[in-house]
Amino acid sequence: MNQKERIEQLFETGILPRKEMRALIEERDEESSEELFAKARIRKKENFGKDIYLRGLIEFSSYCRNDCFYCGLRRSNTKAQRYHLSKEDILTCARQGYALGFRTIVLQSGEDLSYSDEEIADIVRSIKKEMPETAVTLSIGEKTYEQYLLYYKAGADRYLLRHETADPVHYAKLHPSDLSFENRKRCLYDLKKIGYQVGAGMMVEAPFQTLDNLVEDLFFLKELQPHMIGMGPFIAHKDTPFKDMPSGGSELTIFLLGILRLMFPKVLLPATTALGTIDPYGREKGIMAGANVIMPNLSPKSVRGKYMLYDGKISTGEEAAESIEKIRKRMEAIGCHVKNVRGDAPGMGPENRQ
Ligand code: SAH
Ligand code: SF4
């Protein structure tokens, strides 16, 4: 098959044989990228029109018990600045987001065990009680089925937990031995079973990642059928074991966003902060390649510089929630429209909750 045929088949059927998928990525060039993105925009338009959904991201704690080799919040990073927000601080951020038009709040943190499960549930419950039209997404790491169920019963709607890499051998090169792909996968299937809208995903150009790894990631996602896919470039952090590893670029990430849109026409696909960090127009390029979600930062300004997953993370400019008008204008400039709605995965709105 040539590139044109591969893209056509992916567009029509949502899948390609592994070998062809690999070749599609490997042989990408300007022409095939444009072709892919044009098809991705067709699928996006069919499912979402011009709409772009916003998620207000509250990074509520920079403490983490884990030691992922790539991440600036890893517990061995003694230089990391640690903070955690109180329930009142979190509610204040959520209210500000609500006033700005956000109808999804994402609560993200390291795996900080100083919050009890009941405290997390209470925070979720309080947001839902005060702002019932708001969807709450959690992104707080690996937990047991019972813990996930407790948060869900408290009102949490969605959960983001990237699978990071679907190859257990590659997984072991990115994480210490107490973390495994097997448990990550167990978490994702538990979350789906409970009824969450689930987000998985991976870093692009992570250390030791091969093209075959990426193809494996795509096929793992096909099997999991997540409602959301978070995917951004790896960016090195100076105080981690991967400090000298090259960071990813925007080009491959954007190409993969196009592939994901054709594989998953209805999926919620953010143009991530990491993409906006390595490329000033990364978000726009991601949207033009099929992404339909943006996640501006709603954390208090005083802590934003402390939630450093990777070097150079943008946190005070136009990606910030208070610059929402600029974000809206930038989206209008590329023919899109930011909508103040929850933006659920199709068929997964509040009326469908179990
Ligand atoms: N502790 C939670 C949520 C916070 S980390 C968890 O790990 O799921 C959120 C995401 O940030 C991770 O899933 C990872 O893919 C991404 N991340 C961490 N370090 C990164 C880096 N150096 N470059 C790019 N993305 C990174
Ligand atoms: Fe902790 Fe998440 Fe960073 Fe891993 S990626 S060290 S779990 S914050």
Q: What percent of the chain has pLDDT over 90?
A: 94
User: Where is 186: in which H helix or E strand?
Assistant: helix 181-194
Ligand 1 center–CA 109 separation, angstroms: 10
Question: Do residues 252 and 278 touch, judged by C-beta distance below 8 A?
Answer: no
Angstrom distances, CA of residue 20 to CA of 29, 32, 43, 202, 257: 15, 14, 21, 21, 17
Angle ∠(235,238,242) on CA atoms, nearest 5: 65
**104 located within any domain:** yes
CB atoms within 10 A of CB 121: 19
The pLDDT of residue 314 is: 81
- Backbone phi and psi for residue 51, each to the nearest 5 degrees, phi listed first: -70, 135
| Three-state SS annotation for 253-284 | HHHHHHHHHHHCCCCECECCHHHHHHCCCHHH
Question: In the numeric block, which tokens belong to residue 41?
Answer: 């925009």
The pLDDT of residue 281 is: 94
The pLDDT of residue 353 is: 86
Largest CA distance in the chain: 58
The pLDDT of residue 90 is: 98
CB atoms within 10 A of CB 53: 22
Ligand 1 center–CA 58 separation, angstroms: 14
Angstrom distances, CA of residue 51 to CA of 42, 43, 46, 129, 290: 13, 13, 11, 27, 12
From 113, 138, 309, give the residue whose CB has the most ligand 1 atoms within 8 Å, as the site to mutate. Answer: 309
Question: Do residues 194 and 341 touch, judged by C-beta distance below 8 A?
Answer: no
**354 located within any domain:** no
**353 located within any domain:** no
Question: Do residues 298 and 58 touch, judged by C-beta distance below 8 A?
Answer: yes
Instruction: Confirm or reject: Cβ of 117 under 6 Å from ligand 2.
Output: no
The pLDDT of residue 321 is: 72
Say how far apart CA 301 and CA 318 lie, in whole Å.
13
Mean pLDDT of 252-277: 97
Instruction: Confirm or reject: Cβ of 142 under 6 Å from ligand 2.
Output: no
Say how far apart CA 245 and CA 239 lie, in whole Å.
12
Q: Is the pLDDT of residue 316 over 80?
A: no
* Residue found under tokens 């600036």: 72
Angstrom distances, CA of residue 164 to CA of 73, 105, 160, 232: 16, 22, 12, 10
Task: Identify which ligand lies nearest to the alpha carbon of 274.
Answer: 1
Instruction: Confirm or reject: Cβ of 207 under 6 Å from ligand 2.
Output: no
Ligand 2 center–CA 85 separation, angstroms: 17
pLDDT averaged over every residue in the chain: 96
Mean pLDDT of 118-145: 98
Say how far apart CA 211 and CA 216 lie, in whole Å.
9
Q: What is the pLDDT of residues 290-301, one digit of tens each?
A: 999 999 999 998
**351 located within any domain:** no
Task: Print the domain residue range for 127.
Answer: 3-339
pLDDT band, very low/low/confident/very high, at 323 (cuts 50, 70, 90): confident
Q: Chain-centre distance of CA 345, in angstroms?
A: 14
Q: What is the pLDDT of residues 140-167, one digit of tens each?
A: 999 999 999 999 999 999 999 999 999 9
Ligand 1 center–CA 143 separation, angstroms: 16
* Pick from 91-105, 257-271, 287-301, 312-326: least confident: 312-326
**345 located within any domain:** no
Question: In the numeric block, which tokens belong to residue 25?
Answer: 């990525």
Q: pTM, whole model, 2 decimals?
A: 0.97
Mode of pairing for the β-strands spanning 337-339 and 51-54: parallel
Q: Is the pLDDT of residue 269 over 90?
A: yes
Mode of pairing for the β-strands spanning 51-54 and 293-294: parallel
**Residue of the CA atom closest to atom 1 of ligand 1:** 110
* Residue found under tokens 């943008």: 314
Question: In the numeric block, which tokens belong to residue 38?
Answer: 């044009």
Q: Is the pLDDT of residue 322 over 90?
A: no
**Residue of the CA atom closest to atom 18 of ligand 1:** 71
Question: In the numeric block, which tokens belong to residue 221?
Answer: 């996602």
Ligand 1 center–CA 3 separation, angstroms: 32
Report which DSSP code applies to 231: -
Using N-to-C axis directions, what is the helix angle for 250-263 and 18-26, rounded to 10°?
A: 150
Number of domains in the chain: 1
Question: In the numeric block, which tokens belong to residue 252?
Answer: 């491959």
Q: What is the pLDDT of residues 160-208, one digit of tens each?
A: 999 999 999 999 999 999 999 999 999 999 999 999 999 999 999 999 9
**350 located within any domain:** no
Mean pLDDT of 14-38: 98
Ligand 1 pocket (Cβ < 6 Å) reads 70-71, 108, 110-111, 139, 141, 161-162, 164, 203, 232, 234-235, 237, 274, 309-310
Say how far apart CA 278 and CA 275 lie, in whole Å.
6
Instruction: Confirm or reject: Cβ of 230 under 6 Å from ligand 2.
Output: no
The pLDDT of residue 319 is: 64
Q: Chain-centre distance of CA 104, in angstroms?
A: 14
Q: Is the pLDDT of residue 320 over 90?
A: no
The pLDDT of residue 184 is: 98
Number of the ligand 1 atom closest to the C-alpha atom of 139: 3
Ligand 1 center–CA 4 separation, angstroms: 34
Indicate which CATH number applies to the domain containing 109: 3.20.20.70
Ligand 2 center–CA 65 separation, angstroms: 8
Question: In the numeric block, which tokens belong to residue 307?
Answer: 């939630």
Instruction: Confirm or reject: Cβ of 141 under 6 Å from ligand 2.
Output: yes
**344 located within any domain:** no
